[in-house]
A and B are shown apart, each in its own frame.
Chain A
C-alpha cells in the first residue's frame, strides 16, 4: 500500500514539476492562437514613414487615441510612460505607438508636440481616414468622429484598449482601461523576456 502511494507520487512528479514551472496567467486578455499583428502604416511624428512590422524584435503597445482628448488619452500615455521607465533597461525594447483616430486635427507636428510630453521615444502615427478604416477593421475596433458643435469642436469615440504585439510580431494581449500599471508592467516584462525568434 505504502509503496503503491510512493509510486503514484513518483509518477505525478513530472506533472507537479511542470505545474511549478508554469507561469501564472497574463493579466491582459490573451489572443489564442497568437497571429501576426495586422500592419499599421502611416507617418511618425518626426515625419518619417512608420510601419508596425518594422518594429519586429521589440514588444509593442498600440493605443488608438487623439490629442484633443484631455482625460483618457493623456492618462493612458502617462501610464505607459511610467511603465516603460519602471521597466528600466528592459524598457528600451518596448515600443509605444499612439495611432491618431483624428487625422484631420492631429497633424504630424501636433502629434510630435503631444507625444513628446510623455516620452520622445514614443511613436505618434498619422494615417489617412481610409487607412484607419482598414486598420480598425483588421483590429476589430471602432472609432467615430462626431459632428462639430457650433464652436467647431468635435469629439471622437475611440477604443480604450491597449494592444500588445510580441517580439515576433504576433498580436498577443489586449489590456482594458481598468488594467493598472502594475498588471501592465508585469505582463510586458514577461513578454520582454521572451526571445525574438522561437520555435512554434
Chain B
C-alpha cells in the first residue's frame, strides 16, 4: 500500500511537476520568402501553462496566429497574449488552426533543413525545439 503510494508520488513528481511539458510533432514547410509556418503539439503533464511567445534565429519575428473560418471567409487572428496549454491536456498548433508564423525569414526555408525554435512558456520557462522543414 505504502509502496504503491510512493510509486504514485514518484510518478506524479515526474508527470505532474509544474512545467511537465512535452513538445511533439514540430514541423515546418518550405517558404520562398515568407512568412514561414511551424506546427507542433504541447502536451501538458501538470497543471497547465501558457505559450507566451517563440523565437528562432531563422526569422526576425515569430507571431502566434490562428486561422479561423467564419462562413466562407478565412481570417487570421493574432494571439498576442499567447496560447493556453490546458492542464493535463494538449495545445495543438495544426494546419487550418493555431500556428506559429515566422516573419522576416533570414533565408528561404528549404526541405531537409532544421530550425532551432525557442518556446517561452509562462511557467515552464524556455524550451528549445528542433523543427524539421519537410516537403508539403
Contact = CB atoms under 8 A, between A and B. Distances in A.
Contacts of B61: 151
A93 interface: no
Interface in A147-200: 149, 151, 153, 155-161, 176-177
A75 B75 contact: no
A173 B30 CA distance: 30
Interface of B: 29-37, 61, 63, 65, 67, 69, 72-76, 78, 95-96, 99, 101-103, 136
A114 interface: yes
Interface in A101-119: 110, 113-114, 116-117
B54 to A, nearest CB: 14
17 contacts: A70-B35, A70-B37, A71-B37, A71-B96, A71-B99, A74-B31, A110-B33, A141-B72, A155-B75, A155-B76, A156-B76, A157-B75, A158-B73, A160-B69, A160-B74, A161-B72, A176-B72
A151 B39 CA distance: 23
Given A114-B33, A157-B74, 14 more contacts: A68-B34, A70-B31, A70-B34, A70-B65, A71-B65, A71-B76, A71-B95, A72-B67, A74-B136, A78-B29, A78-B136, A157-B75, A159-B72, A160-B69
10 nearest A-B pairs in the assembled complex, by CB-CB distance: A78-B136, A70-B37, A155-B76, A70-B35, A113-B32, A160-B74, A71-B67, A157-B75, A70-B101, A157-B73
Contacts, number: 72
A158 B37 contact: no
B33 A113 contact: yes
Contacts of A113: 32-33
A151 B80 CA distance: 13
Nearest to B38: A70
